[in-house]
Amino acid sequence: MSKLTDVPKRILIGRALRSDRLGETLLPKRIALPVFASDPLSSVAYAPGEVLLVLSIAGLSAYHFSPWIAVAVVVLMFTVVASYRQNVRAYPSGGGDYEVANTNLGPKAGLTVASALLVDYVLTVAVSISSGIENLGSAIPFVVEHKVLCAVAVIVLLTLMNLRGVKESGKLFAIPTYVFVTGVFLMLAWGAFRGFVLGDEMQAPTADLVIKPEHEGLAGLALVFLLLRAFSSGCAALTGVEAISNGVPAFRKPKSKNAATTLALMGGLAVTMFCGIIVLAMATDVRMAERPAHDLFLNGQPVGADYVQDPVISQVAEAVFGHGSVLFMILAAATALVLFLAANTAYNGFPLLGSILAQDRYLPRQLHTRGDRLAFSNGIVLLAGAAALLVVVYGADSTRLIQLYIVGVFVSFTLSQIGMVRHWNRHLRGEKDPAKRRRMIRSRAINTFGAFFTGLVLVVVLVTKFTHGAWVALLGMVIFYATMSAIRRHYDRVAEEIAAPEGPSDDSVRPSRVHSVVLVSKVHRPTLRAVAYAKLMRSDTLEAVSINVDPAETKALKDEWERRGISVPLKILDSPYREITRPIIEYVKNLRRESPRDAVSVIIPEYVVGHWYEHLLHNQSALRLKGRLLFTPGVMVTSVPYQLESSEAAKQRARRRQEWNAPGAVRRGPVEKRQPKEPSEKG
């Protein structure tokens, strides 16, 4: 059974890597950019559309506000990038926002940030893949018709790719990310050339549609609220920026410098693409609506339920390159791919953060352990499961999912920047070097502005998105916070309970006597081996115990015991209700009550089998009994194995797995048999 699972595992995720090869998995900047920045880079594929969707509520006249909203998003992006460049230099250990808040604001703030980030990472996977499915569906109708199934399939595929390791997945993801970025810049350049130099009239496929506003002629506070809501939707372009601060340990040296450079590259690329798509969308007369079937009209009639609303980037690409052109198809495919791969930001951030939280005892310790490929496999699988659940619940609808988005990331942004301000204040109190003080004061100013701006955006997001689904993200944060707090309390309580005392304790005092009990059912080889082992232990008292379930079998056992002259006394426990576990438990407890200072050693003979189905036929009573005895203080349980012939099959399988080597190792010969090379004539 083990081999049956081991072979597919090696095919899917590759050979296991030694711990000392961890350094080989570190990333250069050219790979780190698509690994950690694929989310903010790809968000330009849907963030402009979200701005236009919200503005469409007030009708086409509100579209002229979109460039100003883009400017506000750009200012915020530059602020956040500049702030996080300070973070990665000050805290290069990979804790990111969690470490900053935990160190400077206290454990509660740190746990709040961690809860927000965990929720945001799960949403990143769900939103990115759902958006990618919708983009791909504009070219392949089957994908739209079965988008939940396709989205879950993509999650599974991404999970397998990430289980192969960060560096391997990064190499796979680098090409489509760079193709997407190149395609967008080519679209912007060609669109600008056609529009401003050639004077061509470029029209999006929705240019002839008319938007029916839900609330026409908005003014005053209502208009301000609408613009703030559109701005908060456009802030989706900032999601994933914090992943680089969590992934600093994955960079090659100098880690902090490389991470800061990658942040700057990411910010510049994302801002240029976001603004360019907004401008081209206005120039090509793109039309979007939150309810396209009812609010978009063609020739005075609603487009109807069969209408599929393509994303803004697809409409702009069609207007610039032409429908069905090679460049249009390449960009459409690259957009879908990069949206799928944007989830990779979360696949790298979530497991790293989970590992740090597990080390701090806020999450199960299994999340701190690296898998076969030196990736945090348990965290990767946990993220995939949570994201798949969200996709199924929300029907892989990116517009519905994106309403849950952004809240968590701005909670972490704000608390992290406040923490950085306190960090610089603390260091400035003890720093005397004028040059260093000037750098610290400059960094503090950047983080102060970042804290103010992101805090303001957080308030806007909460106010404008709460009733549209943001409350679900807040609920998720509360659940994560409560769960992690409970896990920490449990680990602390256990650590306190098992801590070794300074003086003598009951656990270190030698028992007065050891009373050994061998459990027997019949006189056979396993029983004789268990009795022989028990004699070797030289206990103070030794007896064999059997349960009287069938009087005839019990009489046969006693007769055989006496005939063989076994020197260990045999005690028979009656069981009128034919139970096996309860009488033994009661007997052992009675021994403890009679002599509380004595230890009781229960010795159980067990079969060792070679096939999984044989476990269902043997040792079931022994397993139940051991499970109950574990809760009895002062009782030790010892299993005496007896290998059946079928266990040889398992032994051979294990031996073959140990002898398995990489391709090419067979022709070189086994390591232990390999002959040393003859010295050359040159000596």
The pLDDT score that the predictor gives to residue 678 is 41
> Residues in the chain, how many?
683
176-192: average pLDDT: 89
Residues 6+ apart with CB under 8 A from 429: none
How many other C-beta atoms lie within 10 A of the C-beta of residue 412? 29
Question: In whole angstroms, what is the distance from residue 274 CA to residue 78 CA?
Answer: 13
- Domain ranges for the chain, please list them: 8-93+125-395, 514-659
Q: Which residues pair with 561 in a beta bridge?
A: none
The pLDDT score that the predictor gives to residue 570 is 93
What is the rounded (10 degree) CA torsion for 42, 47, 53, 58?
-160
The pLDDT score that the predictor gives to residue 676 is 44
Lowest mean pLDDT among 29-43, 408-422, 555-569, 627-641: 29-43
pLDDT digits (tens, 9 = 90+) for 325-346: 888 888 888 887 787 777 777 8
Contacts 24+ apart (CB under 8 A), 586-594: 587/517, 587/545, 588/517, 588/629, 588/632, 588/635, 589/632, 591/515, 591/517, 592/632, 592/633, 592/634, 592/635
360-375: average pLDDT: 70
Lowest mean pLDDT among 172-181, 552-561, 580-589: 172-181
Task: Provide the angle, in degrees to the nearest 10, between the axes of the packed helices 255-283 and 66-90.
Answer: 180
Question: In whole angstroms, what is the distance from residue 483 CA to residue 475 CA?
Answer: 12
Question: In whole angstroms, what is the distance from residue 619 CA to residue 631 CA?
Answer: 19
Closest CA to 236 of 399, 23, 449: 399
pLDDT digits (tens, 9 = 90+) for 79-132: 888 888 888 888 877 667 888 888 899 999 999 989 988 888 888 888 878 877
Highest mean pLDDT among 117-126, 215-224, 228-237, 464-473: 117-126
Residues 6+ apart with CB under 8 A from 618: 606, 607, 609
Lowest mean pLDDT among 319-323, 495-499, 566-570, 673-677: 673-677
How many other C-beta atoms lie within 10 A of the C-beta of residue 264? 14
**What is the pLDDT confidence band of residue 418, given thresholds at 50, 70 and 90?**
very high
Residue 219 has pLDDT above 70, yes or no: no
Residue 666 has pLDDT above 70, yes or no: no
Q: Is 241 helix (H, G, I), strand (E, B) or coil?
A: coil
394-418: average pLDDT: 80
Parallel/antiparallel/unpaired status of strands 570-574 and 541-548:
parallel
Residues of the chain by 3-state class (helix, strand, coil), percent to 5: 70, 5, 25
The pLDDT score that the predictor gives to residue 602 is 93
Q: Which residue has the tokens 């988008």?
A: 147
Give the DSSP per-residue string, 268-326: HHHHHHHHHHHHHHHHTT----SSHHHHEEETTEE--TT-----HHHHHHHHHH-TT-H
Closest CA to 44 of 307, 338, 301, 389: 338
**What is the pLDDT confidence band of residue 1, given thresholds at 50, 70 and 90?**
very low
Lowest mean pLDDT among 29-33, 417-421, 540-544: 29-33
**What is the pLDDT confidence band of residue 665, given thresholds at 50, 70 and 90?**
very low
Q: Which residue has the tokens 């399988």?
A: 653
**Which has more pLDDT, 583 or 348?**
583
pLDDT digits (tens, 9 = 90+) for 398-408: 767 776 777 88
pLDDT digits (tens, 9 = 90+) for 422-434: 988 988 888 888 8
Closest CA to 138 of 318, 277, 279, 319: 318
- C-alpha Rg value of the chain to the nearest Å: 33
The pLDDT score that the predictor gives to residue 75 is 87
What H or E segment, with its residue span, contains residue 7?
helix 2-13
Residue 77 has pLDDT above 70, yes or no: yes
The pLDDT score that the predictor gives to residue 215 is 65
218-228: average pLDDT: 74
Residue 525 has pLDDT above 80, yes or no: yes
500-511: average pLDDT: 59
Residue 7 has pLDDT above 50, yes or no: no
**Chain mean pLDDT for the chain:** 78
511-519: average pLDDT: 86
The pLDDT score that the predictor gives to residue 657 is 54
376-402: average pLDDT: 82
**Count of H helices and E strands in the chain?**
26, 8
Q: What is the model's pTM?
A: 0.67
CATH number of this structure's domain 514-659, picked from the four choices 3.30.2420.10, 3.40.50.620, 1.10.150.120, 3.40.50.720:
3.40.50.620
Question: In whole angstroms, what is the distance from residue 348 CA to residue 277 CA?
Answer: 28
Instruction: Write the CATH number of the domain with boundaries 8-93+125-395.
Output: 1.20.1740
Lowest mean pLDDT among 180-184, 260-264, 612-616: 612-616
Closest CA to 591 of 605, 573, 614: 573
The pLDDT score that the predictor gives to residue 485 is 92
**What is the pLDDT confidence band of residue 17, given thresholds at 50, 70 and 90?**
very low
Residue 492 has pLDDT above 60, yes or no: yes
Residue 250 has pLDDT above 80, yes or no: no
**Which has more pLDDT, 141 or 484?**
484
10-14: average pLDDT: 45
Question: In whole angstroms, what is the distance from residue 497 CA to residue 502 CA?
Answer: 14
pLDDT digits (tens, 9 = 90+) for 577-615: 777 888 898 999 898 888 888 889 999 988 887 776 666
549-562: average pLDDT: 88
Lowest mean pLDDT among 19-28, 58-67, 326-335, 561-570: 19-28
380-407: average pLDDT: 82
**What is the pLDDT confidence band of residue 171, given thresholds at 50, 70 and 90?**
low
How many Cα atoms are found within 13 Å in the side-chain-facing hemisphere of 379?
29
Q: What percentage of residues in the chain have a pLDDT greater than 90? A: 7
Fill in the DSSP letter of residue 194: I
